Amino acid sequence: MPGWWDSAVVYEIYPRSFQDSNGDGVGDLPGIASRLPYLEWLGVDAVWLAPIYASPLADFGYDVSDHTAVAPEYGTLADLDALLEDAHGRGIRVLLDLVVSHTSIEHPWFRDRPDFYVWADGPEPPNNWIASFGGPAWSRDPRSGRLYLHSFYPEQPDLDWRNPELREAMAGVVRFWRERGVDGFRVDAVDRMVKDLALRDDPVTSEPFPLPLHADLTGLDLIHSRDAPEIGVALGTLREAAGEAPLIGEVYLPVERVIPYLDSFDAVFGFELLHAEWDAEQLAAAIVRSQSAGAIAWVTSNHDFPRVATRWGERNARAAAVLLLTLGGSAFVYMGEEIGMADGPGGDPPLDRFDRDRCRHPMQWESEPDGGFSTGEPWLPLVDPEVRSVADQRDEPDSILSLFRNLIAVRREIDGQPERLDAPAGVLAFRRGEHLIAINTADRPAPLPLAGELLLESVAGALQPDGDGRRLAANAAVVLRAG
Ligand code: NOJ
Ligand code: CA
């Protein structure tokens, strides 16, 4: 179903780290609301809020203990209502994060509705399934003595989507937020909703999984511990409850296995691009493969993986922005990428046991030591606000922030599916309608055999005269309009 999300720019907000309004060092909903003018200026179509629900924070909000309550440190339902109203008044839509495959172990359901979860009995786990963050996917509940399944941390027991009453309960959650005016959902860990009913072992394999996994999971063919063929009923429940609101799925599977999810969802994230090397051929292959599945939400960083400047190198961050924002489909921009933030230090000890603190440091608004994030002690330290901040870059035409803003404006004029063009080694070039996009992934300039008027360059001087033709500077990218 085509809709506003098809080519939307969605800005991911990690609520703890965006803006604190009350000096407790933790970002919150009023803080987010106070930054809406910035997001409007930047030109994004929507924001996705990582979980804002009540949570004991074993997985920083992805362990939900009440699906229809706002965590007190983030504010109240009234704050969310105010945020929705203000955002809508500015033409910005709001997506919530729907955590459907598991709850917190402290969710009342775990005690009151054990039939909502997946259990096994016996002295040993019933199979070899491994949790995404390592270790067995089964833990013993000290109260009942039974084993419960958890695809992630032991504090996150998996829900049983085969139970119609669970399906109805979660549909109620979706309707609750829709009725409050939420515009859509990023749906967490969708491939973990339904597993093999017979709990068969994941077979051993020597074939590598195409996406990075915890070391404990490599060597297993992950066919039974996730993505069971009966997934359609679970997805259909969400589809029906969401009505026309978009559902963007986090499906962490090889591309050929995401196709059934697109029967019910509006798009799925293209993780193969996020994990590709910064190399024209590898990027092109990831893009073509992802597109073969259907509607893709492009993403080059989020709160789980190293940031672009860290993964692909600071020198490539601008060209990577051009890539993200010129592909057909929606584009998800993780907060802080627009000012070129790199990962910060990991916590010591890490707050997140999987060491994802590095990409979750607070947003840098001002070039002061506190970055304008909080007047109190931030929950994670700031990385380098004196080096990069919104304040420093906003009126600077050559900044990466200005590049993001210009790209968001230019992309509105770009239409059509990308078609790869011949280009020298290291250059990824494609055409979308009358627009030509060229990205030099190499550390040396390359001749650019494309004619067209320059609409945007990733850095001043990206396009240079070269004899009778032109060349593209090292690590640079351009958008042209074909003559
Ligand atoms: C994916 C989320 O992005 C991640 O942060 C979380 O730990 C897992 N799903 C489990 O909910
Ligand atoms: Ca706060």
Which ligand is located closest to the Cα atom of residue 59? 1
Which helix (H) or strand (E) segment holds residue 479: the answer is strand 477-481
pLDDT tens sequence across 361-412? 999 999 999 999 999 999 999 999 999 999 999 999 999 999 999 999 999 9
Over pLDDT 90: what percentage of the chain?
Answer: 98
| Of 15, 257, 269, 58, residue with least CA distance to 152 | 58
Q: Give the atom of ligand 1 at the shortest distance from the alpha carbon of 250.
A: 1
Q: Give the atom of ligand 1 at the shortest distance from the alpha carbon of 99.
A: 11
Compute the mean pLDDT over every residue in the chain, rounded to the nearest whole number. 97
pLDDT tens sequence across 143-168? 999 999 999 999 999 999 999 999 99
Q: What is the spatial distance between Cα 221 and Cα 41, in angstroms, rounded to a whole number?
A: 46
Judge whether residue 277 has pLDDT over 80: yes
The verdict on pTM exceeding 0.95 is yes
Q: Mean of the pLDDT values across residues 441-452?
A: 97
Count the Cβ atoms, other than its own, within 10 Å of residue 163: 15
The pLDDT, as a whole number, for residue 2 is 75
pLDDT band with cut points at 50, 70 and 90 for residue 348? confident
Over pLDDT 70: what percentage of the chain?
Answer: 100
The pLDDT, as a whole number, for residue 483 is 74
3-state DSSP call for residue 177? Answer: helix
Catalytic pick among 165, 244, 398, 443: 244
Judge whether residue 1 has pLDDT over 70: no
Judge whether residue 3 has pLDDT over 90: yes
Who lines ligand 1 at CB under 6 A?
59, 62, 99, 152, 188-189, 250, 303-304
Q: Mean of the pLDDT values across residues 328-341?
A: 98
Which ligand is located closest to the Cα atom of residue 63? 1
Q: Give the atom of ligand 1 at the shortest distance from the alpha carbon of 133.
A: 7
The pLDDT, as a whole number, for residue 355 is 92
Judge whether residue 341 has pLDDT over 90: yes
Beta strands (DSSP E) in 425-483 are 427-432, 435-440, 446-447, 453-457, 463-466, 469-472, 477-481
Testing ligand 1's pocket by substitution, the residue of 107, 152, 191, 252 carrying the most ligand atoms inside 8 A of its CB is 152
Is 188 tagged catalytic?
yes
Which ligand is located closest to the Cα atom of residue 362? 2
Is 366 tagged catalytic?
no
Ligand 2 centroid to 35 CA: how many Å? 14
Q: Mean of the pLDDT values across residues 184-208?
A: 98
Q: Mean of the pLDDT values across residues 232-251?
A: 98
Ligand 2 centroid to 400 CA: how many Å? 28
